[in-house]
Amino acid sequence: MKTRDAFKWQVISHVVLMFFALCALIPFILLVAASFSDEVAVMTQGYSIIPKEFSLDAYTYIATRWADIGRSYLMTILVTLIGTGVSMIITSMFAYTLSMDFVPGVKILNFLCIFTMLFSGGVVGSYYIWSNVFHIRDTIWGLILPNLMMNAFNVILVKNYYVNSIPASLREAARIDGCSEIGIFWKIAMPLSIPINATIGLMTGLAYWNDWTNGLYYLTERNGSQYYTIQLLLNRISENIQWLSTAAQGAGVTTANIPTTTSRMAIGVIGLIPVLIVYPFLQKYFVKGITVGAVKE
């Protein structure tokens, strides 16, 4: 039987959590409602949870400009899939190496990994190297390689998972049976690491999906606009709404008829759909992976 104090604290905790859940949910509801609202109503009467004047103008306009917006949407999906897949492989392999104390120089590698969490080369140094040494400017690699390919925090999470959740005796038995380290990694470590892989995959995928800074640094409107992602396009629209106005001239749409505010909301809703679809399938792994991987050695 629960005591009165325990019941009281349970009620309070539920009320507090419901309040924070509403704080997280209301902006999303306003976003969706604004995307289905009339442009003039939003500009004159502000945002509301229920559209004051229902309109599909924003989504109709997106359909007419799908050549640009759709290409950015597909580019975002491509960049996210490639970046997340390669990042998971590199992160897992590096973390597996760091989890083995007998590897020569592993302490130095651990130090270098943690050092990058505290210090970085800065934006200027990174930009110079990626642009002038690796020549990724105005290419799709400018959206994939810098900043997001490998994260030291994710490496530490996966390393701790390997140390705490995969028995060393299991790997030792595989070595005795003649299995190589590569075989142990692919046949034992990876299949047993679904929770942490799903966790870092989700975090990395979200980082790629929401990223616009790489495009801002490494893509120019003149030569790299074909590689614009949906987030970069949305950011450009927010900074300079004339981008949509210029694009609409060829279709015979006047500037006054463009749903500028609601179209940004509609693009935001479209950008959220894949995340909302994928997250429920990974949620059960996310909590377990983050909990086990965060355990200190």
For residue 284, give its domain range: 57-293
Q: What is the dihedral of CA 121, 125, 129, 135, to 10 degrees?
A: 130
**Residue type for position 4:** R
Residues 6+ apart with CB under 8 A from 227: 75, 138, 139, 140, 142, 143, 215, 219
Residues 146 and 275 grouped into a single domain: yes
Q: How far apart are CA 196 and CA 285, in angstroms?
A: 7
Provide the residue count of the chain: 297
Domain count within the chain: 2
Residue 131 lies in a domain: yes
Which of 235-239's residues contact partners 24+ apart within 8 Å by CB, and which partners?
A: 237/263, 237/264, 237/267, 238/264
Find, among 295, 27, 39, the residue nearest to 160 by Cα. Answer: 295
* Bridge partners (DSSP) listed for residue 260: none
Residues 6+ apart with CB under 8 A from 22: none
Residues 24 and 61 grouped into a single domain: no
Q: How far apart are CA 210 and CA 155, in angstroms?
A: 21
Residues 81 and 14 grouped into a single domain: no
Q: How far apart are CA 88 and CA 77, in angstroms?
A: 16
Residue 250 lies in a domain: yes
Between helix 194-210 and helix 260-293 the angle, nearest 10°, is 160
Two structure tokens written together for 10: 């349970």
In order along its 297 residues, the chain shows pLDDT tens digits of 557 777 888 889 899 999 998 988 888 888 888 888 887 887 778 788 888 888 888 888 778 777 878 888 889 999 999 999 999 999 999 999 888 888 888 889 888 888 888 887 778 888 888 888 999 988 999 999 988 888 888 898 888 888 888 888 888 888 888 888 888 888 888 888 888 888 888 889 889 998 888 888 898 877 778 888 888 877 776 665 555 555 555 555 554 455 677 877 888 888 788 888 877 776 666 655 555 544 444
Residues 20 and 131 grouped into a single domain: no
Residue 41 lies in a domain: yes
Phi-psi region of 144 (alpha: psi -120 to 50; beta: other; left: phi over 0): alpha
